[in-house]
Structures are given as C-alpha cells and as structure tokens.
Structure 1
C-alpha cells in the first residue's frame, strides 16, 4: 500500500471514529446502531489505542460501568433517548441494557489498550479498575453460562455476534416463528432486504428474546436455544490469557488460575468442537449434544489458540483458511464457506466478508509466522476507505450493510498502524 494512501486512509478512519464518538463511547454507526454495543466497543478501542489511547480506555470503562450484578457485560447499553431508532430497545428489555451478551473479547482488548500506552494506563489506574470487573465477567461465563461440556453457551443468535450464521439454523427451526411484540425493522432503512435476516428469522429472534426476558434473564431456564460457538469460546480463552497478563502486571496472584481456565477451554474446544472431515471447528448444540456441520469463519478462529491445539489441527485450519471455501476461492474472507450450501455473498453472516473476522485471523497467522497469509487477509482493509462499510461481498468487495461503520474504521486503523506478530503482545 502506498504511504500517502495509508496516511489518507488512516486519517479517514480516525474521522469516522471522531464522528461516532459520543463523549463517553462510540456508536457502531450513527443511523442504524445508535447505542453502545459490547464487542463493537472492544474493536473500536483496539483502533483508538493508536491515536487516542485515553478514549480507548474510556470506551471500555463506560461499557463495564453497565455490568450486571451477576457479572455479565450486556450486549447493548441504550441511549434511552434514541429508543425509536433501533429495535428491540430499552422499552422491550424493561432495562437500560439488553439482557443478552456478546463474545468476550474485552480482556484481550484491555491488555492491547494497556500495552499501547502503559504510562497513561498506569496513571489512570486502568488495569486496577477493569481487571476485577473482567474477572467477574469470565466467572459468569464459566459459571451460570456453562453448558453440558463446560463451555459457555449462547442463549440467542445475537449473542454469538454472527447473528444469522448457518450454525444456528437447526436450533432456530425448533423455535416458533411467533412473537407477541410488534416487530419494527429500522435496520431496513440502512440496508437492503437481501442483506439482512428475513421476517421469519426476526420473529424467532423476538420469540427467544421475549422468553429470556420473561424468565428474568435467568440462565437456568431453558428457552429453546443454547449453542456453543467456536468463535465465542476461542476469544474467551485468549481473554483468559490476557487476564493472566493483567494479574502479573498488578502483582495479583490470580494469573495461574486464568492460565488454567484458558487451558481447560482450549482442551474442551478441541475435544467437542472439531470436525475432521471439514478440517475446522463447528458449533455444538447444547440441547441435543450434536455438532453442527457447517463450515464458517467461526470455525477458523481457534487458530488463535494454535499452540494449545492437538497436533496437526493448526495445519488443517490453515489449509481450510487458504482453501477454495475461504481465501482460495476469492480475494476476501467469507463468513460462510463458498462451498457451503448456505453461502450467500450478500446476506449478513451467510457469506459477506467482515473486517473483524479478518482482523482476528490476521492476529492468528502472524503469530504463526505466516506473513503471506496475513498479507492476503490485510488486502481486505485496502478497500475499507472511504465508505468503511459494515461488510463486503467476498468476491467483488462491494460494500454491504451500513456505511461509516466504527469497527471497520477502527480495525483498518489498527491494520495500518500495527504490525504486532503476537496474539498477546508483551507490555
């Protein structure tokens, strides 16, 4: 990438983050997503750590200020004045936050943010403030959310971060496509119907959300959906290792426990989520005990844990990543494999390439020394500016979803300004 282009792209990305900054947190997009989202804020902080590390720390602190008493970090923290702009809103949840969660990338992010500006972090007491909150968040996932094999389950497709992935299709078929709540679709003002989940999907989403809400968001009440996701659990393992780094930096004695928790998660992912025929990891239906045999980008994310996986599996994952279903079949990394029956290049998580999953895999392959594969993945970020779309067609790069999307801008900034070759850098 030409240096002048890099500088222009970085400046454009920073302008998106400035525009979407509210003074306390960054909205994912000013129109479609007017609140604070959990893993969006984590990715935004990763980008902001380069140019505005104080803002990156504030982003995470603001999110953790909304943590529930049981330890969960909510999927959405609502700006109640914007409740008509996104559905379901605070009125639906009868709360200023959603009762759902999202993938636990936060401790990993907090460590990256700390390492980018350790002096500022120490001056603000950042690690001392967030470490106990993040530890409680993980305790919640290992405790009330633990499923039959000991890995945390997601109670709703929205919790997975990959909302309409084919990994959830079979479980959703058991959910009645009926909802008591009138379903509004403000999202369709910002993206075409062919790019967003359909009405039948939304009726099921609302049915599950109503059931969870009406049960007081209690995790011991079955609501018809409980899935173990390889992406969700993989970033939990990385985040446990990040907590171990934090504990050491704070001279806290809990580091060994976090390392042990990470090891347990990795061992269990290996034992229960591997699909040898597909050569990647898949989801597990906690209700039926069955694996969901669909090839998605979720199943490549355990490459972040390569050193702890069973012998030969990291190599199989690299083969899948570079094979015809993924990078070998086109320029950008699809969310569902090109040869999977559910593949759709336009429809949300059923085919389009997303910048956050490309970023996750860049970190994984760099740590393994595969600079050529990292370069292929980084080509995704070459097409982000100036629109910074939510996601793109994996073959043409045409923008999909909303535009001026915060995590696209933030991770583009990180791709331009960071060449870290470890998943978890040293301070």
Structure 2
C-alpha cells in the first residue's frame, strides 16, 4: 500500500466504481427501516453504526437516511438513553449474543423507561446522532422541513444529551461516563485492560459466542475479555439498568470517562444548537453546554506528558496511561486551546500513529505494549475513527493533511472490500467485509472530494445535483 504522498491520482471512473460498490453494500444491508452493519456477524441495528450510515446514506437517499435515525430513536428509553442495539424480532436468538433474552430490556429495564414493545440492549454507544441528523438535514433542507424531520428528532436528541450529562456524569466533573467496554465503541481497547482486571468473568460454559461463527478468533476479543463483558452486562441488567447515584444502584465495577465519547458529545451539542436554531428555539443553552464540556474535557482528560487525551478510570480516579486513537478524536472539537491542538497534531503524525505516512491511523499506539495489528480495537485501523480524524483535521485548519487522509481512506475502502477494519501497515482487510459504516463513510468522502473539485453551483443547484445513478447526491457539509 502506498503512503499518502504516493497515492495515485483518483479518476472519475475509479470514483464511480467505488461509489457503486459502496451503494451496493448499503442496499444489501438495508432491512426496511434501518441498515445492519453486516450480514452474518451483526444482524441487528447498532446505534453509532446507524449514525455513521445515515451520514453516507444521505448521498443516496435523504429519506432513507432520515428513516435510519428515526427508527433508532423510536427505541429510545424514557430516561433518554439510546440503546446500543435495537433487536430485529425476525432474527433467531442464536444468531447473535448477547441476544434479547439476555438483555430482557422490556422487563429488567422497565424501571428505567425501556420501551415495552421493542427489545433492545440496556447500554449505550457514542453520541454521534445529533451531528448525523444535522448533516442529513443539510443534504436536503427542503425535504427535511417538509417532513418535520428536525422538529421530530430535536426533543429526542435533547433528552439523549440530558441523560449523558445528567445520570451518566458519574465522576461529577462534567463529563459523561461509560459503564461497559462496549459503550465507547472500542470494545477491547488496551485502555480497558486495567479497569477490566478487577472484573470477575462469568464461567466459560455459561454462554456461547456467536461472533466466532463469522470471524477468526485471532481478530476477535479473547474468551477472558468476553467473560468479563458478560459479567458487567449481567450485573447492570440485574440492577435494572440504573446508573450509580440511583438509590437502588450500586457503583459499577467499570466506569470510565472516554475522550472520544465526550468529543462526540461536544460536536453533537454544537449540532444540536444548530438544530434548535433551525426549529425556532434558542441555541445558546447547547452552545454553553458544549463550552462547559470542552473545558471539562481538557481539565479531566488531557495529558501533556502523553501529548493526547487519555481515559479516566473513575473507580481509581486516575488517567489510564494507554494511548489509543480515542485520544486523538477531540480534534473535532472547536475551540480547543492552541497548545493542545498543536500537541495533538504532533502526536497524530508521530511514531505512535504515523498519520500521513501509513494509509490510516491505527486504533492503538503502534509502539504500545499491547499492540496487535489484527485483533479488533487493539491496533487495526477503523474507517469511522479515521473519518472523525479527517473531520478533526479540517476543524483545526489542517486541510492538506485532511485531503491526504481522505484520499488514502478511499483508496483503502475499495481495495479491502469495504472491510470492518484493516491492518494499519498493509491495509489488508480484517474482520467482516461489506461493512455498513465503511461503505457509508466512503460515500461521504467521495461526495466531499467531488464537491472540493467542482466549482460552487448556483444557488438553485446547490442542494441537488444529478449524478450517474439517477439519484440526487448531496454535498458533504462540515460544521
């Protein structure tokens, strides 16, 4: 795989082939109301997957992108949480574990406001949803306004953010906390090894891992880690999915403040401010909360020594000295102190991540003691994280670096068959293929590259340009 500086100049024919391939993946993974991440391994709807998928779907069908988010938010709990999985009742229980009969959301979560008619998990994932909703809106504002898209989603998004900044401020320092390694999205990151070490795993024979039916064990979490995941999920379920601070809830054995999650919350607060203004409300409270979150992010998670943001283990109240790509994602946050931005950019380009030299940034420090180029979040490069880094580079004015990463990602996406993740050195496919957010984010980057290379359209043409496929492609808009 060539470095960014050696990437071939893209051609219109190559872009068209890539676009058609990405569209094929999303069409094949569509299930009538939402898009599954992949056929086989992930047969239900996942929370942050759907947000990223909606961002790409807006370039194929704005209505379908809106439906993606609407379907997910229809499963929101009364306490505001957006569950990380919405289960399809047509899928057999043994197709995925933990299945609905493990989570028992409609019964175990009744006290926390779980919906009675929809089975979900009881944990959450990173809050990309308001950002996704705003981008979907900007793709076709006329259709959005006619359907009342933002008006219907805004209260749900506001309740989601209230939950994250209220019951989930477990550390009391102004940031949201995650209570399970699946919640930050980077499931078996080395950053969780320390916090997980105090969790007693369930007995190996007490459950069956369906993920190994579809993926190689060398690319998946270990049985020991999985046993700990199951223990944490079962304990949370058994206390009614109540968060610490509730009179009937015990403190979680796993509680962390994650820089990626909180950076996405800040970006989504800024998006929610725009959504609120668009729907006739006052955006100031959301902008003020975004500012408070930004201050708390720097105060609680910034490490000058490591040149990046780190996770905070709330049980021990200390920063976890593991350098994962989560600590670079705050580049998407506007208004960071200039020295922090300078240090982040230096770290991203340094020996630990080699952004601009390797095809895509690794999920964990290349020099780290736990680095593994093939095992899930312990080293492979992921498209959603690199999409966020590309966006962050633009927020911070590093346009040349952003262009290089965008082009490299598009090169890799087509070559790897829209893989779930790739080897950071060789860009060889890892995990499952025809993965939803890889295809979706490739569509978004293609649209951005096309928009950058095309003269600005006249006002009447700005929101709708005919494309090769006969559908209307929207330009990518950066907040």
- Provide the TM-score with structure 2 as the length reference: 0.86
How far does residue 179 in structure 1 lie from its aligned partner after superposition?
4.6
Structure 1 runs of 4+ off > 3 angstroms?
419-426
Distance 1:320 1:423 in 2: 27
Distance 1:100 1:9 in 2: 35
Distance 1:134 1:20 in 2: 25
Q: For the Cα contact (< 8 Å) 2:331–2:395, is it kept in 1? A: no
Alignment of 1:155-170 (within 5 A): 155-170=179-194
Q: Hey, what does 1:246 align to over in structure 2?
A: 275
Q: 1:62 to 1:211 in 2, by over 3 A?
A: same
Q: For the Cα contact (< 8 Å) 1:242–1:424, is it kept in 2? A: no
SS in 2 for 1:308: coil
Q: For the Cα contact (< 8 Å) 1:100–1:156, is it kept in 2? A: yes
Distance 1:209 1:202 in 2: 11
Uncovered stretches (5+) of structure 2, i.e. residues with no partner: 1-9, 106-118, 245-249, 453-474
Uncovered stretches (5+) of structure 1, i.e. residues with no partner: none
Q: For the Cα contact (< 8 Å) 2:59–2:444, is it kept in 1? A: yes
Distance 1:167 1:186 in 2: 25
How far does residue 127 in structure 1 lie from its aligned partner after superposition?
0.2
Q: Hey, what does 1:173 align to over in structure 2?
A: 197
Query: Which of 25, 29, 32 in structure 2 is aligned with 1:20?
Result: 29
Q: Hey, what does 2:111 align to over in structure 1?
A: none
Distance 1:384 1:277 in 2: 34
CA RMSD between the two structures = 1.6
Q: Hey, what does 1:401 align to over in structure 2?
A: 431
Query: Which of 400, 418, 431 in structure 2 is aligned with 1:388?
Result: 418
List per-residue Cα deviations over 1:31-84 (Å, max 9, x = no partner).
100000000000000001111111000000000000001000000000123221
Q: Hey, what does 1:63 align to over in structure 2?
A: 72
Asked whether 1:189 is paired with 2:189, we answer no
Distance 2:77 2:262 in 1: 21
Distance 1:268 1:212 in 2: 27
Q: For the Cα contact (< 8 Å) 1:108–1:424, is it kept in 2? A: no
Q: Hey, what does 2:116 align to over in structure 1?
A: none
Distance 2:442 2:185 in 1: 19
How far does residue 327 in structure 1 lie from its aligned partner after superposition?
2.3
How far does residue 309 in structure 1 lie from its aligned partner after superposition?
1.6
List per-residue Cα deviations over 1:326-378 (Å, max 9, x = no partner).
12563321000101111110010010000000100111112233222113322
Pick which of 279-288 and 142-151 moved more.
142-151
Asked whether 1:418 is paired with 2:427, we answer no
How far does residue 245 in structure 1 lie from its aligned partner after superposition?
0.2
Q: For the Cα contact (< 8 Å) 1:231–1:301, is it kept in 2? A: yes
Query: Which of 331, 349, 369 in structure 2 is aligned with 1:303?
Result: 331
Q: For the Cα contact (< 8 Å) 1:356–1:407, is it kept in 2? A: yes
Q: Hey, what does 2:126 align to over in structure 1?
A: 103
SS in 2 for 1:11: helix
SS in 1 for 2:312: strand
How far does residue 181 in structure 1 lie from its aligned partner after superposition?
7.7
Asked whether 1:286 is paired with 2:353, we answer no
- Provide the TM-score with structure 1 as the length reference: 0.96
SS in 1 for 2:206: coil
Q: For the Cα contact (< 8 Å) 2:359–2:412, is it kept in 1? A: no
List per-residue Cα deviations over 1:229-269 (Å, max 9, x = no partner).
0000000000001110011111112x111011111111001
SS in 2 for 1:84: helix
Alignment of 1:76-115 (within 5 A): 76-82=85-91, 83-95=93-105, 96-115=119-138
Q: For the Cα contact (< 8 Å) 2:444–2:476, is it kept in 1? A: no
Q: Hey, what does 1:336 align to over in structure 2?
A: 364
Q: 1:118 to 1:181 in 2, by over 3 A?
A: farther
Distance 1:163 1:223 in 2: 17
How far does residue 383 in structure 1 lie from its aligned partner after superposition?
1.8
